[in-house]
Structure 1
Amino acid sequence: MNNGDASEIALTEDYCNEDYVNSHQLQQDHPCVIDIIRRKYLHSPSAVNGSVFVERTDVIDPSAGQSSIVLPHLNNKTGGFFVECGAGDGETLSNTYYMEKQLKWQGVLIEADRKSFSRILASKRQSYALPVCLSLKPYPTEVSFYEDGIAGEIYGDKISNLEEITTIENIANVQCFPLYSILLAVGRTQVDYFSVDVEGSESQILMSIPWHKVDIKTLTVEVTSRRQVDVDSLTKYMEKQNYKKVGLMAGLGYYDLIFVQNKEARHISFDRT
């Protein structure tokens, strides 16, 4: 059965499930993929006193500086929209906490570590949240994931006999979805800020995005390698997607690259499609 035939299947749990979308490598915008995300993984923003937003004037930015670098490129806008992948507990070192609490942004928090995700839910963030990883392919996948708090990362392929393995600790099989699928599930393809911090898989995630179908204004991308060739390779790839590197943050054992959409080049690209 090809993807066209599959789209005619009723969106029921009997057919529309993880095994089906993974094994058939369904395209990112397939109705079944979007339905699974909404039905099984997507947690809606927490409402406080009947309102999505809680206005604050005393919020301290817990990020390592990413938000303070990105916001000026967005004219310090209020009411923006973010996606934070590798969101941790939603507070500690969060790149988006200040945006949400101080500037009334909304967004999507993505965190595959189960303990960290439970803390996101407990923190009552006013954003969507999903206990998944971003797929390294342009279709849904399942992988093994090393759970280690803010240092969690994709371990490798799905482990079929995980319950029998006793030599590997803190490993869980996790469902992954493409970023584009998640954006469609929340009804948003325009993103002001995309934070990617997944301990080594950032480039593969970026290369799975259909850039002509999304409008992402700014990004911070962690690069765990300090090799200049790796930084240059990612920079050249993003330049081809009509982004320019406007900064580099050096941390303990990592770089954060800051990219801003090249508006002039982006405009030309849209005119050609």
Structure 2
Amino acid sequence: MARRVRRLAARAGIGIVRQRELESLRADRGAGHNLAFLKALPEQAPRLLPLLDASTAQLRQDLFALAITGFKRGGYFVEFGATDGKTLSNTHLLEKKFDWSGILAEPARCWHALLEENRDCIVDRRCVWHTSGERLPFSETGEAELSTIGAFTGSDHHAAARRGAASYDVQTVSLTDLLAQHEAPAEIDYLSIDTEGSEFAILEAFDFARYSIRVITCEHNYTDNRERIRALLEAQGYERRLEHVSQFDDWYVRAA
């Protein structure tokens, strides 16, 4: 097994790495994905490998954003839903290790206390939607990461897990208004979207002429909206990257 991991690491462009790092990859249940991810980014792999343990993102979206932005320090992110700001967070590493700042939005009440505790950036408790100022039913599930706007509870293969969810109303804000109200810069380095079904509606209403976003990762969960999102973003000059490793996410980079 060690020989196979070394061989895969070498193919990923890592070369000779420390045995401790290889053992960590072997022990990790996601080692296969990590190695595929590193192999897909051979030039950046030597710098990405030591960051694997610090990454909290489920599919290494945080490391993808770093690789595309040249391991930028002091960048700017926007992430929603943000959950507790650490568990499965796509931006925790960026804030804590690379001094990024930004905005987190999360309407699920169960996350609010920990979100404020875990992060030092702007936290907005409204639900990002295609329009601002609405009040919509929101379903908070037992598996809280699957919480979503009530209308989307049956939109993907997690529908069964959302049965019996607690329901309450949340206030909405559009993505454009969220950025404007928190005085976000016109150039956003990274946008992470995970709203369990409403992603297309949010992006369709966004003012791409007002804000330029370098990297977007967007969960699709293999729904019909996946290709609608792709068509929308490609029309705005984005390219989908690393589809073979992004799984239930799609990763987009604005063409230079």
When normalised by structure 2's length, the TM-score is: 0.70
| TM-aligned CA distance change 1:154 to 1:240, over 3 Å | same
> Which residue matches 2:124?
130
Does residue 178 (structure 1) correspond to residue 160 (structure 2)? The answer is no
> Which residue matches 1:256?
249
Does residue 62 (structure 1) correspond to residue 56 (structure 2)? The answer is yes
> Which residue matches 1:72?
67
Cα offset for 1:126?
Answer: 1.4
Any conservation in 1 of the 2:106–2:124 contact (CA below 8 Å)?
Answer: yes
Q: Secondary structure in 2 aligned to 1:118?
A: helix
Cα offset for 1:74?
Answer: 0.5
Paired with 1:120 and 1:69, the residues of 2 have a C-alpha distance of 23
Does residue 156 (structure 1) correspond to residue 151 (structure 2)? The answer is yes
Q: Secondary structure in 1 aligned to 2:86?
A: coil
Does residue 115 (structure 1) correspond to residue 110 (structure 2)? The answer is yes
Paired with 2:235 and 2:86, the residues of 1 have a C-alpha distance of 33
> Which residue matches 2:201?
204
Cα offset for 1:169?
Answer: 4.5
Q: Which has the higher contact order (CA 8 A, sep 6+)?
A: 1
Does residue 92 (structure 1) correspond to residue 95 (structure 2)? The answer is no
The structure with the largest helix share of the pair is 2
Paired with 2:117 and 2:52, the residues of 1 have a C-alpha distance of 21
Q: For structure 2, which runs of at least 5 residues remain unmatched after alignment?
A: 1-50, 153-162
Equivalences for residues 236-251 of structure 1 within 5 A: 236-248=231-243
Cα offset for 1:248?
Answer: 2.5
Cα offset for 1:249?
Answer: 6.1
Q: How many residues are aligned here?
A: 192
Paired with 2:146 and 2:244, the residues of 1 have a C-alpha distance of 18
Which deviations, in whole Å up to 9, do the C-alpha atoms of 1:123-161 show, x marking residues without a partner? 2x1100011111123x4322111112211100039xxxx
Q: Secondary structure in 2 aligned to 1:143?
A: strand
Paired with 2:52 and 2:243, the residues of 1 have a C-alpha distance of 28
> Which residue matches 2:190?
193
Equivalences for residues 141-152 of structure 1 within 5 A: 141-148=134-141, 149-152=144-147
How large is the RMSD of aligned CA atoms in angstroms? 2.3
Paired with 1:59 and 1:238, the residues of 2 have a C-alpha distance of 31
Any conservation in 2 of the 1:249–1:257 contact (CA below 8 Å)?
Answer: no
| TM-aligned CA distance change 1:80 to 1:115, over 3 Å | same
| TM-aligned CA distance change 1:154 to 1:76, over 3 Å | same
Any conservation in 1 of the 2:56–2:89 contact (CA below 8 Å)?
Answer: yes
Residue identity (%): 27
Does residue 222 (structure 1) correspond to residue 215 (structure 2)? The answer is no
> Which residue matches 1:105?
100
